[in-house]
């Protein structure tokens, strides 16, 4: 079946948890990126309704935010410098233009002194037009600096999660059966408490995309000081039962993860998202030991650099799985082959 053969239909999907069964062509990008951003878009909203400059300035990266502030500052001073020049060549008193690089630069530096309320006094406006421009710039500077300071404070004070997800997930033997699992840890020195995990399994079934929330061995941890291996046991009730790695790829499967917890520093709820595609899942592998030897003071620690490291599961581990698929395979494996 090719992508052109697929007719995605809108149907009532009782397990639709937010994306809708109409989503899901074979040629589309992954729904959720590894960094937690979504590839889906909402089209057709009125421009003014969808525009949120405040939200945009809060959520963009620090380099982009600093770039916008610097470029806006230079642009505003350039515009006011041109406004002073438009008032006439004698609109500013002070040093000769040649000593400051020319008329434009003298007006530009006077604009910087005005908007920042520095006021050295060596350059001053002359005439009604220049004083009007100066008054306007002072008012604009008052509002802009107040808003800029508020946004900067909000960016620093807004709690965000820095949960690190393992670069790959694994399907490996687990307590007499197999399980889908991945590891997480906190990327900051602060503490997260009451952390809850949800895993949504998405795949193409026939002509629609289906979603199932996977049952986890443990959905919540009270404390999160080290790492957490999130485990979905694969049994007869699991939608992964009997499914091979090739089938996951053919069904354009995606595992979408949502973590929610409380940042004890701010006492506010924070979220972290990520996802795994079939090419990021290692079948027949297990995670290596992440714990360091206990030090002389009895302190337990982990090596975060090993968070994504895996190794092949031993054949004996596969032989110990007590439940097998009726075809003689469990999650795509037989006792005679590995990986």
pLDDT in tens, 311-322: 988 766 665 554
- Tell me which CATH homologous superfamily contains domain 9-41+160-319: G protein-activated inward rectifier potassium channel 1 (2.60.40.1400)
Nearest one of 257, 256, 250 to 204, comparing CA atoms: 250
Question: How many angstroms separate the CA atoms of 201 and 224, rounded?
Answer: 24
DSSP string, 179-241: EEEEEEEESSSS-EEEEEEEEEEEEEETTEEEEEEPPPS-SEEEE-SSEEEEEEEESTTSTTT
28 pLDDT band, cuts 50/70/90, is low
Residue 181 confidence (pLDDT) above 50: yes
Lowest pLDDT segment from 1-5, 45-49, 267-271: 1-5
What pLDDT score was predicted for residue 57? 87
The stretch 184-197 carries a mean pLDDT of 92
Domain extents in the chain: 9-41+160-319, 53-157
Apex 301 CA angle, 161 and 217, nearest 5: 60
What pLDDT score was predicted for residue 332? 40
40, 31 contact by CB (below 8 A): yes
Long-range contacts from 113-119, C-beta under 8 angstroms, 24+ separation: 114/80, 114/138, 114/141, 115/76, 115/77, 115/80, 115/140, 115/141, 115/144, 116/141, 117/141
pLDDT in tens, 113-163: 898 888 777 888 989 999 999 999 999 999 988 988 899 988 888 888 889
CA distances from 254 to 33, 45, 277 (A): 10, 28, 5
Topology of the domain comprising 53-157: Helix Hairpins (1.10.287)
Backbone angles phi, psi at 120, to 5 degrees: -65, -30
What pLDDT score was predicted for residue 8? 40
Predicted TM-score of the model (pTM) = 0.71
Q: What percent of the chain has pLDDT above 90?
A: 43
Which 3 state secondary structure label does DSSP give 312?
strand
pLDDT in tens, 213-237: 999 999 999 999 999 999 999 999 9
191, 198 contact by CB (below 8 A): no
């Amino acid at each position: 079946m090719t992508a052109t053969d697929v007719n995605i239909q809108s149907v009532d999907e009782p397990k639709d948890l937010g994306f809708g069964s109409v989503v899901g062509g074979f040629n589309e990008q992954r729904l959720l990126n590894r960094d937690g951003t979504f590839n889906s878009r909402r089209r057709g909203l009125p421009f003014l309704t969808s525009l949120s400059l405040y939200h945009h300035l809060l959520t963009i990266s620090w380099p982009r935010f600093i770039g916008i502030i610097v470029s806006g500052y230079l642009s505003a001073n350039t515009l006011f410098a041109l406004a002073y020049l438009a008032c006439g060549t004698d609109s500013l008193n002070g040093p000769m233009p040649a000593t400051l690089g020319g008329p434009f630069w003298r007006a530009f530096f006077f604009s910087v002194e005005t908007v920042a309320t520095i006021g050295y006094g060596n350059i001053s406006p002359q005439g009604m037009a220049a004083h009007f421009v100066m008054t306007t710039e002072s008012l604009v500077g008052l509002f802009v600096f107040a808003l800029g300071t508020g946004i900067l404070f909000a960016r620093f004070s807004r709690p965000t999660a820095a949960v690190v997800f393992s670069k790959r997930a694994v399907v490996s033997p687990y307590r007499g059966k197999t399980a889908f699992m991945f590891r997480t840890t906190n990327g900051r020195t602060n503490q997260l408490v009451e952390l809850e995990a949800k895993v949504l399994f998405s795949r193409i079934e026939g002509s629609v995309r289906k979603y199932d929330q996977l049952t986890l061995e443990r959905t919540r941890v009270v404390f999160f000081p080290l790492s957490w291996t999130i485990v979905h046991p694969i049994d007869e009730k699991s939608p992964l039962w009997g499914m091979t790695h090739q089938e996951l790829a053919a069904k354009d499967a995606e595992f979408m993860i949502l973590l929610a917890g409380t940042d004890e520093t701010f006492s506010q709820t924070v979220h972290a998202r990520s996802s795994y595609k079939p090419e990021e899942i290692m079948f027949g592998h297990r995670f290596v030991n992440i714990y360091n030897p206990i030090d002389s003071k009895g302190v337990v620690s982990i090596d975060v650099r090993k968070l994504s490291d895996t190794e092949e599961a031993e054949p004996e581990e596969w032989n110990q799985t007590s439940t097998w698929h009726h075809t003689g395979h469990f999650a795509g494996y037989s006792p005679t082959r590995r990986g």
